[in-house]
Structure 1
Amino acid sequence: MRRVRNINFRRNRGEILEQQGVQIFPKTKLGKATNNYDDSNKLKDDDFGSVHRGNIKGDDVVVVRKPKDAHKSQKKGDFQRKLKFLMKRSHKNVVKLKGICLETRIPLPVYEYIPNGTLFQHIHQDESTILKSWEDHFRIVAEATLALNYMHSSIKPPIVHGKIKSVNMLVDQNYLDEKYPAKVSDVGTSVLISPKHRHIVATQKQDSLDYIDPEYLITGMLTTQSDVYSLGVVPVELLVGNELFVTESGESINTIYRFISSVKNNTLSDVINFEGSGEDEMERIRMVAEIAVKCLDQSGANRPAMSDVARQLADINPSSAIEENNEETGDVVDAEQLFPLETTITGEASPHMTSRCLF
C-alpha cells in the first residue's frame, strides 16, 4: 500500500506541487480525519463520488471529495496549472481549496467547511431564515455570478465549473451578515476528471439534468456558456420555490419551460413564490427573471457572457452586497505563462476556452 501511494504521488507530480507551495494531505491523514469515510461523515453522494466532512487536528474541519472507483482515470493534462491557480488565488464567493491528496490515482481535493447546508436544502427541505426577502434571493444569484465570472475571467483558458446547481451552493448560518457570503462549491474537481468521462452526464438524475446545457448533451463540450445556462436555472428554482420537474394531474411539467413562458407572456406573478411584493420589487424581480431567460437560451452563442450577467445584476440593485471584493484578483492570468508546461503531467494543455469534463 505504501508503494502504491508513493507511485501515485510521483505520477501526480507531488514533489513539484510541494515545491510550488500547494498543501499536500497524506492519504492516511484524510482517512483518519473522516473515520475512513464513514457514512456518518458523508455530506453528499452523487454519480461522481462522495463528499465527507473531516476533523484535522481537532479544530480544523475540512471537506474531502472522494471519487467513485468507476470514474478513476487519467487526469486532464493541465490540472497542475489550474490547481495551483485555485490554491494561490481566492475569491470570497468560492469555497476555498485548502489542499489536495496526491497518494491516490485521482487526487482528492480538500476544501474549507461551510456549515448549515446547501442552497437546495434551504429552498426545498428547511424552513429557511435566509430566504425571506427579495434581497436575500437576489444576493445569492449575484454572488454566484461573481464567483463564476472570476473563474471565467481570471485565467486563460478559463475554468469551467460544469456542475452549477443549488446543491453546489453553500449558505452559512450568518449569511445575512455581509461578512458571510454565499459560496460556490466543487470548484477544483473540474481539473481532475479525464475527458473520457464526459459521457457519464447521461447517467445523472433528472434534477441534475435540468441544470445542464442542452448543447453539451449534443456535443459533449462544456464551455463558459454552459455555466451561464446552469446559472440561469438557479433564479428559476429560487423564485418558483419548488422542484424543477413537478407533476400536476398526473402530467409531468417542466418548471423551467413554464417560467420562460411566464416571462415572455408577462404572467410571471402567476408562477413565482412571492406574496405581497410591492410593484418596485416586482419590477426588479421581472428584470432578474428576464436575465435568467437570456441565460437559458438553447443556443450558447445567444447567451450573455458571465461578465455581462454580473454587470446587469449590479445595474438592477447597486446597493446589494454584490460589489467585487476579492482577497486576490488582479489582471487576467495566462496559465501558459504562469505555470510552465514542463511541470504538467503527461498530456497537452488545451488552448481552447472549453472543457470536456463535467466536474
Structure 2
Amino acid sequence: MPMLVYEYVSNGTLYDHVHKRNGKGPLSLGLRLKIAVETAESLAYLHYSTSMQIVHRDVKATNILLDEKFTAKVSDFGASKLVPEDQDQLSTLVQGTMGYLDPEYLQSNTLTEKSDVYSFGVVLVELLTSRRALSFDKPEEERSLANVFVCAVEDGLLRHILDEEVVKDGHFETVEKVADLAKRCLSLKGRERPTMRDGKRAGRIANFFKAFRRPYDDGR
C-alpha cells in the first residue's frame, strides 16, 4: 500500500509562535529573519530548482513548521500547482487563504509564481508586526494586514505597527530593509513584485544582522 511518510516537526507552526498560541513564546528579531530567509529559499527551490515549476498557492504562517532549532519547513502542498515548462501562468479556480491571497490572482483567476511572492510578503509582515493577516473584529479598512502595513510604511508610521520584540532589538535600519522587501512583495501588480530569487536577498539582511546581534544562548 503506498504511504506518505512525513518528518515529525516538533515545534509547532510559525503562527503559534508569532501569535503566542499553545504556550509558545515570542520570537527574537534574529529568529524572525532566519525563518524569513529559510522560507524564501524553500519557495525559490519550488519555483526554480524542480523539473517543473511548482506554485505552492497557500503560503501562510500555519503552513510554515518549525523544528527544535527553529528551522522553517514549508508544508501542505494540497493546493499546489505544476506549471508546464512552456507556460508562466495558469488559468485556474482561485484557491488559498483570505488575507494571504494575491489580489491579482483573485480578480483574474490567473495563477503565477508572483502569487506565492504576495503571500510570502504577508508572512514577512506577520513576522514584523505579530498581527493576524485578516482581523474581522476591526473596522473594514483595518481588516487586511497587508493594506494596513503598506499604508503605514508609505505614511512613515512603520514603528507604530511593529511588534514590541522587534522594536526591543533596536536595529531599525535592518527592520526597514525587511519592510521595504515586504512592501515590494505586496504590490498589487504581480510584475512589480520581486521573484523568490530576489526574495532571497533577505538572506543578506539576516547575515548583516548576525554580524552584530548578541548570541542567543537558548537558541531563541
1:113 aligns with 2:4: no
Deviations 1:57-77 (A, max 9, x none): xxxxxxxxxxxxxxxxxxxxx
Q: 200, 213, 220: which one pairs with 1:310?
A: 200
Structure 1 match to 2:93 = 199
Alpha-carbon distance between aligned partners in 2 of 1:132 and 1:166, rounded to the nearest angstrom: 14
Alpha-carbon shift at residue 154 of structure 1 (Å): 0.8
Deviations 1:8-67 (A, max 9, x none): xxxxxxxxxxxxxxxxxx1xxxxxxxxxxxxxxxxxxxxxxxxxxxxxxxxxxxxxxxxx
Residue 257 of structure 1 aligns to a residue whose secondary structure is helix
Q: How does 1:334-349 map to 2 (within 5 A)?
A: none
Alpha-carbon distance between aligned partners in 1 of 2:28 and 2:23, rounded to the nearest angstrom: 14
Alpha-carbon distance between aligned partners in 1 of 2:48 and 2:164, rounded to the nearest angstrom: 34
Contact 2:99 2:145 in 1 (8 A): no
Contact 1:239 1:272 in 2 (8 A): yes
Alpha-carbon distance between aligned partners in 2 of 1:157 and 1:268, rounded to the nearest angstrom: 39
Q: 109, 124, 127: which one pairs with 1:235?
A: 124
Q: How many residues align?
A: 199
Q: Which moved more, 1:267-276 or 1:135-144?
A: 267-276
Structure 2 match to 1:211 = 100
Q: 183, 187, 190: which one pairs with 1:293?
A: 183
Contact 2:174 2:209 in 1 (8 A): no
Q: 251, 258, 270: which one pairs with 2:139?
A: 251
What one-letter code is carried by the residue in structure 2 that aligns with 1:235?
Answer: L
What one-letter code is carried by the residue in structure 2 that aligns with 1:266?
Answer: G
Larger Rg: 1
Residue 246 of structure 1 aligns to a residue whose secondary structure is coil
Identity rate of aligned residues, in percent? 35
Deviations 1:57-105 (A, max 9, x none): xxxxxxxxxxxxxxxxxxxxxxxxxxxxxxxxxxxxxxxxxxx55xxxx
Q: How does 1:143-158 map to 2 (within 5 A)?
A: 143-158=38-53
Alpha-carbon distance between aligned partners in 1 of 2:74 and 2:52, rounded to the nearest angstrom: 20
Q: Assess, with a 3 A threshold, how the Cα gap between structure 1 residues 242 and 218 changes in structure 2: closer, same or farther.
A: same
Q: 59, 76, 83: which one pairs with 1:186?
A: 76
- Aligned CA-pair RMSD: 2.6
Alpha-carbon distance between aligned partners in 2 of 1:293 and 1:156, rounded to the nearest angstrom: 30
Alpha-carbon distance between aligned partners in 1 of 2:157 and 2:114, rounded to the nearest angstrom: 27
List runs of 5+ in structure 2 lacking aligned partners.
Answer: 83-90, 211-220
Structure 2 match to 1:273 = 163
What one-letter code is carried by the residue in structure 1 that aligns with 2:173?
Answer: E
Q: Assess, with a 3 A threshold, how the Cα gap between structure 1 residues 117 and 146 changes in structure 2: closer, same or farther.
A: same
Contact 1:199 1:220 in 2 (8 A): yes
Alpha-carbon distance between aligned partners in 1 of 2:111 and 2:81, rounded to the nearest angstrom: 13
Q: 171, 180, 185: which one pairs with 2:66?
A: 171
Structure 1 match to 2:24 = 128
Q: Assess, with a 3 A threshold, how the Cα gap between structure 1 residues 269 and 126 changes in structure 2: closer, same or farther.
A: farther
Deviations 1:259-286 (A, max 9, x none): 111111221110111255355x111111
Residue 277 of structure 1 aligns to a residue whose secondary structure is helix
Structure 2 match to 1:141 = 36
Residue 317 of structure 1 aligns to a residue whose secondary structure is helix
Alpha-carbon distance between aligned partners in 2 of 1:251 and 1:223, rounded to the nearest angstrom: 31
Alpha-carbon shift at residue 318 of structure 1 (Å): 1.8
Contact 1:263 1:286 in 2 (8 A): no
Alpha-carbon shift at residue 151 of structure 1 (Å): 1.1
Alpha-carbon shift at residue 295 of structure 1 (Å): 0.3
- Using the size of structure 1 for normalisation, the TM-score is 0.50
Alpha-carbon distance between aligned partners in 1 of 2:128 and 2:39, rounded to the nearest angstrom: 15
Alpha-carbon distance between aligned partners in 2 of 1:188 and 1:251, rounded to the nearest angstrom: 32
Q: How does 1:8-87 map to 2 (within 5 A)?
A: 26=1
- Using the size of structure 2 for normalisation, the TM-score is 0.79
